[in-house]
Amino acid sequence: MTISLDHKELLRLHKTGIFNSTASFIELETAIKQYTKKLSVDESKDIKGAAFEIFGEFLLKKLGESTQLGVYDVITTSEDKYYVGTDYYGTGLDGQPFQIQAKFKTDYRLKLQFDDLGTFFTRAFAEATAIKNLLILTNVNHSDENSAIHYSIDNVFRAANQHVRVFGRDQIINTTSYKRFWDDFHTAIKQSLPSPNKRVYLDPNNFQLKALSAAISNETRLQILMPTGSGKTLVECLLADDCINSGGEIVVVVAPRIALVSQLCSVFQAQTKTTWEPIIISSGEKETREIYYEQDHDGYIEPSTKSEDITNNIVNGLSKGSVIIFTTNQSASKLNTIISGLHKTINLGIGDEAHNFTSDDFRQILDPTILAVDKWRFFTATRRIDPTGTGRGMNNEEYFGQVAYRVSPAEVIKAGLIVPPRLQYVKYDPEVDFNFNPNDEEEYRVEMAMMVAGIEKHIETMDNKAMRVIVFCSGAAEAHRFAKSDVVAERFPNTYAAAITADKVTDDRIEYRSNRSKRSKIFNKFTSANHAILFHYDVVSEGIDLPGATAILPLRPLGDIKATQGVGRALRVIQIDRDNLKNGLIKVGDSTGWEKPFGYVILPYVSKHNEDDMTRIERIVFSLRDNGYDFDRERLQVNYKPKSGGEFEPEFDLYPLIDAVEDPDMLTVGDIEDIEDKIDQELEDEKIAMEVARISHLSEEDLLTELLGE
């Protein structure tokens, strides 16, 4: 009878290839160590533990009702947070509950220490499980004379050491040293895997088809400008397919950050229809290949920045057909020497979040002598330009080419592909008492008051609907401090709170070193929780897809591009609304029936006379206006008393209700109009200044040509 394995990490561990072709426990142990040696400490610990637990689950079920272990009906507890410290539950030969802990040591000569098993015994004793019904499964040395467990301080655990059974290294090796065991192990893994992902290709919308048509051109460099959420990445995938179908061998996809490189690699694997080998150039971690019905391979993609590794990966990939290379801007310059040394050509370069190419550090790879590319296609939602048109900006056509396609946010909103932004002005009290520590700085106290007021208002606004807020913190340390704070836990008890920064994550109020697995888990928890808060500092501003986000809350001033990119995180249409739109149950422009009708921008302020608050608000309004999220000025004339208890118009929301408050510090409709008038004037002045600067750089001949219209 085939054994069914239930461990939640089975698919992930299967993709690593650790279990492939192992025919003994020593081979499995070696494979685990080999795979994890290049991983971070936290990631290595996770993989080692999960791999040994999966093996242990099979071993326990294989031995089943034998008296060798004295346990049957074994189940894994990996899906249940309640069972912290216990890896498996079962039934003892006496019919009573049985608890089992699996412990893997990289050096099997070491003994298990108090810290290794303290949680396990604490839970067992708390549940009054008999000592005879406790089992430790471990790869360390063990015999009756030389116990695998060592305690030095606690009499209770000394007693446990004498009576708890240990199934150790010698027993495992002796029990599993026959071919049938490992054949059955591989069969159990294969048949227990969830059904492989079925590729579900997205149908390109009209905007994407027009963008693709414009991008497929003989021009060497072109720009495609599409707002966040409109589907730039699918256009990139279709463009790569076109290149490979036309005989192209090498496509390079360049993105500014490792996390975005990882996301793009996954999307390209899912949405391209051509056959190619993925290569990742970054200092990131192993990336799993996606497994689909149409593919018979699996394994992982090993990122590297070493020239030798990159060369070998390209050669191996090209031997099978085409390659798509995913790289950060910082690592892309390594490619030129490698590609030319192979006497090959980069047929297509795709610049994702291409405004980053305007920085001094990244712009150099657009020089053909540093990175030779037949065709460049630059994708962004936020085009960065300079006044002259000859500098670093994307209006320098020598480097970026002409704009081949542009679609405004307003057009995409009208098509129902993204939701409109809604500005939510929230007045907060900086003096509110949150039982702060006397050592807490004034800035931290004020930001806490801003954040709490903003999120409480957003919860009220969303009523019983999902609420997921991305908070833009003033620094990395502050992000983790918020996520771990008692205030957040107490004020939002049913809300998932986490933090992500460049090198750390905080999950369930515990701080860890950041790695791909932990980031992925946090993103998944955030998008699936009914109420969630994600604190970050410059990690999810650009490119990262979090479709469930309902709002952003900036606690610091954001630059033009960061503000627009940040707002874009909250504008994606969620799946239930997509389905309802398709079925005609809801309509674009009518918020009735939408689960997420708007993407909120929560703007806390203490007073309309506070310069810092007003600067932060004005920068957001400027960014939205400057990037095409134009508000209908006529609709800003909202009623002080909305008819029939209706809402304020979707462009903004005042809190508290302005007709109920007479507060000289409170923003009013007139104040908002004044802000927008000011921003409109700034934009007009900037437009004139840029035109003057452009003209001043023209030669007399070019200026005369423009004046004569020839």
Q: What pLDDT is attached to residue 156?
A: 43
Fill in the DSSP letter of residue 704.
H
* Amino acid in the structure at residue 197: N
Could you read off the pLDDT of 511-562 as tens digits, one per residue? Answer: 988 877 788 888 888 988 999 999 998 776 555 677 789 999 998 877 777 7
Q: What pLDDT is attached to residue 550?
A: 93
| Cα distance between residue 383 and residue 599, in whole Å | 22
Residues 402 and 422 in one domain: no
Q: Is pLDDT larger for residue 643 or for residue 418?
A: 418
Where are the alpha helices (H) located in 108-225, listed in sequence order? 114-126, 155-163, 169-176, 179-192, 206-215
Domain assignment present for 211: yes
Domain assignment present for 87: yes
Asked if residue 175 has pLDDT above 70, the reply is yes
Q: What pLDDT is attached to residue 700?
A: 75
3-state secondary structure at position 67? coil
Reading the block at residue 178, the tokens are 């026959």
- Beta strand pairing status for 551-554 and 467-472? parallel
Average pLDDT, integer, range 292-321 = 75
Average pLDDT, integer, range 165-189 = 89
Domain assignment present for 548: yes
Residues 377 and 268 in one domain: yes
Binning pLDDT at 50, 70 and 90, where does residue 705 land? confident
- Beta strand pairing status for 504-507 and 496-500? antiparallel
Residues 434 and 306 in one domain: no
Asked if residue 231 has pLDDT above 60, the reply is yes
Could you read off the pLDDT of 331-377 as tens digits, one per residue? Answer: 888 898 999 999 999 999 999 989 888 887 788 888 888 889 999 99
Average pLDDT, integer, range 455-482 = 92
Q: Is pLDDT larger for residue 589 or for residue 402?
A: 402
Domain that holds residue 369: 206-407
Reading the block at residue 115, the tokens are 């810290």
Q: What pLDDT is attached to residue 39?
A: 79
> Which residue among 371, 390, 407 closes a domain?
407
Q: What pLDDT is attached to residue 210?
A: 95
* Domain count of the fold of the chain: 3
Domain assignment present for 632: no
Q: What pLDDT is attached to residue 123?
A: 56
Residues 146 and 65 in one domain: yes
Domain assignment present for 98: yes
Q: How many CB atoms lie within 10 A of CB 398?
A: 9
Output the CA–CA distances (angstroms, integers) from residue 225 to 213, 232, 344, 389, 529, in the order listed. Answer: 14, 8, 30, 17, 32
Q: What pLDDT is attached to residue 276?
A: 94
Average pLDDT, integer, range 461-483 = 92
Counting residues of the chain whose pLDDT is more than 90, the rounded percentage is 31
Average pLDDT, integer, range 651-668 = 55
Q: Identify the CA nearest to 404 among candidates 413, 394, 415, 412.
A: 394
Q: What pLDDT is attached to residue 214?
A: 96
CATH value at residue 73? 3.40.1350.10
> Which residue among 157, 192, 227 closes a domain?
192
> Which residue among 169, 192, 215 closes a domain?
192
Domain assignment present for 607: no
Residues 435 and 527 in one domain: yes
| Cα distance between residue 471 and residue 479, in whole Å | 8
> What end-to-end distance do the CA atoms of the chain give, in Å?
84
Residues 403 and 445 in one domain: no
Residues 401 and 475 in one domain: no
Residues 505 and 438 in one domain: yes
Residues 51 and 160 in one domain: yes
Residues 457 and 365 in one domain: no
Residues 296 and 429 in one domain: no
Domain assignment present for 312: yes
Domain assignment present for 700: no
Residues 308 and 438 in one domain: no
Could you read off the pLDDT of 565-595 as tens digits, one per residue? Answer: 888 888 889 889 989 998 999 999 888 899 9
CATH value at residue 377? 3.40.50.300
Reading the block at residue 126, the tokens are 């708390």
